């Protein structure tokens, strides 16, 4: 059932982003380029399945090695590597609902511009909290702040996103917004 709730939440997000209304029984299959969201759902569902029937909360913490190439605003490439610290929490609420949360932050992520030799550091946080009420309402908030910070006065690259959706038990979207920006 938790997997179905997660699928419905992300189906609603897809529909709302495209300006569409949908009935309460939204198809669970999504299309399009929402791979980050699909990964988040998989992680949330996996974390949810680790909670036993008698447990009220579960937390999983893991360190994930990162090795990724990034194109800077000036077109140069930076190969970033280090560790991403992930924390996933599932909590049963006193009212009978479920809260899923994940929190990611880079640790020791560093890279060098392959053209200029400028050193960059990956900093920031990614956080999502999803609340499923027993009556069928859903609230989800996603916040991402990621910086590729330059040293020595060079230009940094900053990504900022805040996304929120509230769906009433009736299926009506009460609140929905996605504020995204990227700057150099």
pLDDT tens profile 130-164: 999 999 999 999 999 999 999 988 889 899 999 99
What gap in Å lies between CA 142 and CA 159, rounded to an integer? 13
Is the pTM of the predicted complex or chain greater than 0.85?
Answer: no
What gap in Å lies between CA 12 and CA 140, rounded to an integer? 11
* Cα distance from N-terminal residue to C-terminal residue, the chain: 43
DSSP conformation class of 35: H
pLDDT of residue 21: 41
Compute, in degrees rounded to 10, the torsion defined by CA atoms 91, 93, 96, 102: -40
| Cβ neighbour number for residue 140 with a 10 Å cutoff | 22
Mean pLDDT of 83-100: 94
What gap in Å lies between CA 61 and CA 84, rounded to an integer? 11
Burial (Cβ within 10 Å: 0-12, 13-18, ≥19) of residue 30 = middle
| Cβ neighbour number for residue 81 with a 10 Å cutoff | 14
Query: What confidence tens digit (pLDDT) does each residue in 57-79 have?
Result: 899 999 999 999 888 888 889 99
């Amino acid at each position: 059932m938790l997997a179905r709730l997660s699928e419905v939440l992300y189906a609603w997000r897809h529909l709302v982003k495209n300006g569409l209304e949908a009935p309460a029984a939204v198809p669970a299959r999504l299309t399009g380029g929402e791979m980050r969201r699909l990964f988040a759902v998989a992680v949330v569902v996996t974390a949810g399945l680790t909670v036993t029937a008698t447990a009220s909360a579960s937390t999983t913490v893991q360190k994930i090695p990162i090795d990724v190439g990034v194109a800077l605003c000036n077109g140069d490439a930076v190969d970033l590597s280090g560790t991403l610290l992930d924390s996933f929490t599932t909590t049963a609420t006193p009212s009978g609902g479920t809260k899923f949360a994940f929190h990611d932050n880079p640790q020791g992520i560093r890279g060098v511009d392959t053209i200029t030799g400028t050193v960059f550091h990956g900093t920031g946080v990614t956080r999502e909290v999803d609340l499923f009420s027993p009556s069928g309402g859903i609230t989800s908030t996603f916040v991402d702040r990621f910086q590729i910070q330059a040293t020595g006065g060079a230009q940094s690259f900053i990504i900022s996103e805040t996304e929120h959706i509230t769906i009433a038990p009736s299926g009506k979207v009460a609140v929905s917004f996605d504020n995204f920006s990227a700057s150099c």
